[in-house]
Structure formats: C-alpha cells, structure tokens
Structure 1
Amino acid sequence: MSTVVQRPEVERPPVRWWRRPWVGPLALVAVMFVVYSLPPYLSLDPALSRVPVSEGMEVHYPLLVGHVLFGTVAILSCCFQVWPAFRARYPRAHRLIGRAYVFAGVLPAAVLAVAVAVFAPFGPVAVASNLTLATVWFGCTVAGWRAGRARRFGDHRKWMLRSFVLTISTMTNRVWSPLWAILLAPQLPTTYGGNMTYFISTIAGLSTWLGWVVPLLVCQWWLDRRPRRARGATR
C-alpha cells in the first residue's frame, strides 16, 4: 500500500512592481491621454470637440460627451485592474474598482459608442469598425464579469484582458493615424484626386480597424501561448 505525501503549498510573495516594468509607463500614458483628450468635453462646447460633430444632429455631441466621460473611467480604472501587485495586495479595492470599470466605464461607454459611431463623419469603414468594436468590447466585459461572479477566475482573467486591450485601443489607434497619413500623403493628388474627405476617411477606416484588431490578436496569441509554456516547464 503506497502512501501519497502531499507537499505543503509555499505561499509566493507578491511580485514587486519593478518586475512589471510596463505598469508605470501604461499608467503614465493613460493619464497623459486623459489630460489631453478630456478637458475640451468638460466645457460642454461642441466647438471644442476633438471629434467632428455631425451637423444637424444635436444629440451627437451629448452622446459623445457621455462616451468620453465613461470611457475615461474605463481607461483609468483598467490600469489598476491589470496591475498584479495591486490585485494581490488589495483584493477588495480590485473588486470595487472592477465594478466601476464595468458599470461606470465600459458598459455605458460601449452603448454610447454605438450611437456615436452612427453619427460619426468618417465614412462607412470607420463606422463598421466602431460598431464592431463597441459590440466586442461590451461582450468581452460582460463575459469577464459573469466569469468572476461564477468564481471561474481563469476565464475571468482572460476575458478581462481582452476587455483591457479593447479599452486602450482608443489610444493605440492614435498611433496608426499619423502613420497612415504619412504613408498615404504622396497619393493624395493622384489616388484621391486631392479630395481630403476621401483621404481622411481612408485613414480613419484603417486606423480604427488596426487600432483594436491588432492588440486583440496579440492578446489572444499571448493567452494561447502561456499554457504551452507552462506545460513545457513541467516536463
């Protein structure tokens, strides 16, 4: 008769912040983005909007302001949610901020994003991207919240990481816009016939799709890669 000896579990110390060097830069970029993008909308003056407001659609600007405000909550709160040391040391704060992220951030921002996208003057390609993004963002966040409520924390983490990269996609698509503007500028007088409307719509369409699809694919690749690394380490 064999006896199975169970080794006592060793409590791992929390990972120090300096072992996650991306946390500080992420928070800094998020704060800088909010400081730059939020103030014009606090004035409630449509003339100061960084996004063109559709003429004849008075409801567009209030919806846009609401989307920006709720989106700001999502951007700032997600920085704490993906910080491993903060989650481990302050689990109650993680849960409270998580509720704010879901119910005062992503969900209302995603719903308003649908209406804002319909009125946006950036062409059908950008509209399709923003509508798809809002739907996927909403769905990933709800799936993550439900997994957390069911105490399926592995699934909760995966869905919330997807939600996180979609949240910060509003920042990453700002990287694509100037890049495409530089690359396509020589074609403005030829391909676009000097038409700035078509030129801007092309840049907006490419930037909006790449701004969230690329980060989401990278996130999924990373999630799929980790189990294989873990299995290899146990051999």
Structure 2
Amino acid sequence: MTRTITSPVTRPRARRSREWLIPTSLLLLSAVPVLAGALRLTSLASGGDVTPDNVRFFALPLPVILHILGATTYLVLGAFQFVPSLRQRHPRYHRLAGRVLIPAGLVGAASGLWMTAVYDLPATDGGLLPLVRWVFGLAMIAALVLGLVSVRRREFAAHRAWMIRAYAIGIAAGTQVFTTLPWMLTGGLDATSKTLAMTLGWVLNLAVAEAIIRRATPRR
C-alpha cells in the first residue's frame, strides 16, 4: 500500500488555491445583479426605450445610478477582503480598500432606500416588500457604521463580524436570483411571493454569515 506524501511546498499552494475559492464564489454570486446594473446604466446613458417597467428610472435616474455604482463597487471590491493571505501580506491594501468599501456600501444601501421611498413601484413590489427592504437596508447601514466604529477602536474581531454581516446583506441580490427562480418557473411572482423570496434571500445570507462568524470566534 503506497502513501502519498505532500511536500511542504505544495501545502501552502493548495491552501492559497482553496482560499481564493471564496472571492471567486462571491463574484459569481454577484454576477447577475452586477451585469443587470451595467445594462441599466447603458440603457440610461444611451437613451433606450422607455417602458412601464423602467419609466421611473428615466424620470429620476440619480438614485438608481448611485445604487448601481455603489453596490457594484461594494460587491466586487468587497469579495477580495475575504482572502486571508491578501489581508496578511498586504495590510495596507486591506485598509485602503476598506476606505472605499464602507462609503460605497453606504451609498448602495441609502440609495436603495431612496428608490423604495420615491419611486412609483410596480405591483409586484407592493405589500410588505417595501417594509422588508427598509429593515434590511437600515440593518446594512448599521452594520457598516458599527464595523467602522469597531476598527477605529481596534476591536478587530467585532469589525470583521459586522463587515461580514453587511456584505451578506449586500450580496443577497445574487442569492435572491435563486430564491425567486421557483416562482418564476411555476407561474410568476406576485407581491406576496416576491416578498417571501426576497426575505428568504436575506435570511439565508445572514444565517451563513452568523455561522462563519461563530466558527471564527475562539471558544473560552
């Protein structure tokens, strides 16, 4: 019986390869909302066709532009903050990226609440969905602010936990693609089913975030 011996050189390489699976997975999860945002910006810039579904964006483009730019920056740049070797070898990059990420996340969350408040929303976005968006939008803002306060106090474990929660809420737009898919395939969404699907996306992400935080917290 032969035994495979892993050399000391290959172990760090394998570890680095595994840790890059995290940002790759996050970028893939955010691909749909990022691409949808890029198409929306292209349509607004080129003066695309105005339809009942997008007339609100042409009538008042600033909130959606801010939302797309803030959320895209936050999702793409934020994915690389979860690479341990990048944080350890390049702490200056981690700090500089954080100074971009927190404002971008705040802009993305606040502009999302702005759109919820001022836009004439379609029927499928009615019911309790605006309230749910306010709850999670404000929760993301609170997590970002608490993350900033924690790092300024040099409470790095708390900073990490709050930033993980904030990113989980922000990237829920990607998870919601999958949670809404069953209804889309079985007859479409109404206000109730869309509220349930969107809420499920946020709750699932936060559940995963809390599991990650608990796993990283040392036990006494």
Is the TM value for this pair above 0.5? Answer: yes
**Given residue 95 of structure 2, which amino acid in structure 1 is its aligned partner?**
R
**Given residue 172 of structure 1, which amino acid in structure 2 is its aligned partner?**
T
The correspondence of residues 1-235 of structure 1 with structure 2, limited to 5 A, is: 16-20=15-19, 21-31=21-31, 33-44=33-44, 52-53=53-54, 58-59=59-60, 61-103=61-103, 105-118=104-117, 119=119, 120-121=121-122, 122-183=125-186, 185=187, 199-227=189-217, 230-231=218-219
Query: 1:28–1:222: structure 2 CA closer, same or farther, 3 Å change rule?
Result: closer
Secondary structure of the residue aligned to 1:38 is helix
CA RMSD of aligned residues (A): 3.0
Gaps (5+ residues) in structure 1?
Answer: 1-12, 186-195
- Aligned pairs, how many? 203
Q: CA deviation at 1:146?
A: 1.0
What's the TM-score, normalizing by structure 1? 0.75
Q: Deviations over 1:18-39 (max 9, x none)?
A: 1323332323443565234313
Report 1 or 2 for greater relative contact order, CA contacts < 8 Å, sequence distance ≥ 6. 2
Segment drifting more, 126-135 vs 199-208: 199-208
Query: 1:47–1:207: structure 2 CA closer, same or farther, 3 Å change rule?
Result: farther
Query: 1:111–1:134: structure 2 CA closer, same or farther, 3 Å change rule?
Result: same
Structure 1 or 2, whichever has the larger Rg, is 1
Gaps (5+ residues) in structure 2?
Answer: 1-11
Q: CA deviation at 1:157?
A: 0.6
The whole-number CA distance in structure 1 between the counterparts of 2:169 and 2:50 is: 23
- Where does structure 1 differ by over 4 angstroms across 4 or more consecutive aligned residues? 45-51, 54-57
User: Sequence identity, in percent?
Assistant: 25
What's the TM-score, normalizing by structure 2? 0.79
Secondary structure of the residue aligned to 2:59 is coil
The whole-number CA distance in structure 2 between the counterparts of 1:39 and 1:29 is: 17
The whole-number CA distance in structure 2 between the counterparts of 1:38 and 1:89 is: 32
The whole-number CA distance in structure 2 between the counterparts of 1:169 and 1:49 is: 28
Q: Deviations over 1:57-101 (max 9, x none)?
A: 933x32112111111111111111112121111111111111111
